[in-house]
Amino acid sequence: MMTVSAISVRPAQAEDRAAFLDMWRDFVSLAPNEPGNHAMGERNWGRIMDPASGLRCIVAVDAQDVPKGFTLFLAFPFTWSNGDACYLQDIYVVAESRGQGIAQAMIAHLSQLGLDAGWFKIFWMTQSDNYTAQRLYDKLAKRMDYLRYDLNLVDP
């Protein structure tokens, strides 16, 4: 468990469901033009709670164990390394808690999970106009010059 002031980071638990779904709804509302199914909160929660699914979730909680943010990620074999790669798929912090180091604490916690598991790397993407997130990410990781291409095969 990683702690920043009164914030701790831990794996999501069944009792976090309602808070996760509330945060998910706000998270997707912040990117209305992002292609995909914005109503995936309940389905994602089921994936998170399913041990057979690769999708995992850590949550940042306050001193009263109230979730203030989440990170969704999955690790998989990486063909250019003996260690797995982890795709940090989504990271979110509730509006009133932003700017307090919570996202950084979740990335630090995820990094420790990766070190413990022998991952080669963690990678993520953000929108090109998300300058607030980029300021944090530029402090934590190396910005790469890759472009993202999406080949959608079915409707989300």
**pTM across the whole model:** 0.91
Q: Give me the half-sphere count of Cα atoms (radius 13 Å) on the Cβ side of residue 127.
A: 11
Domain assignment of residue 152, yes or no: no
Structural domain includes residue 153:
no
Task: Please give the tally of structural domains in the chain.
Answer: 1
Residue 94 domain-assigned (yes or no): yes
| Within-domain flag for 115 | yes
Q: What is the mean pLDDT of each run of 10 residues along the chain (156 residues)?
A: 76 98 96 89 98 98 97 97 97 96 96 97 90 88 86 83
Segments forming the whole domain that contains residue 23: 2-137
Tokens of 12: 């999501």
Please give the pLDDT value at position 49: 98
Q: What is the pLDDT of residue 95?
A: 96
Q: What is the CATH number of the domain that holds 108?
A: 3.40.630.30
In the chain, at which residue ranges do the beta strands (DSSP E only) sit?
A: 2-4, 7-11, 56-61, 67-76, 85-93, 121-123
3-class DSSP assignment, residue 14? helix
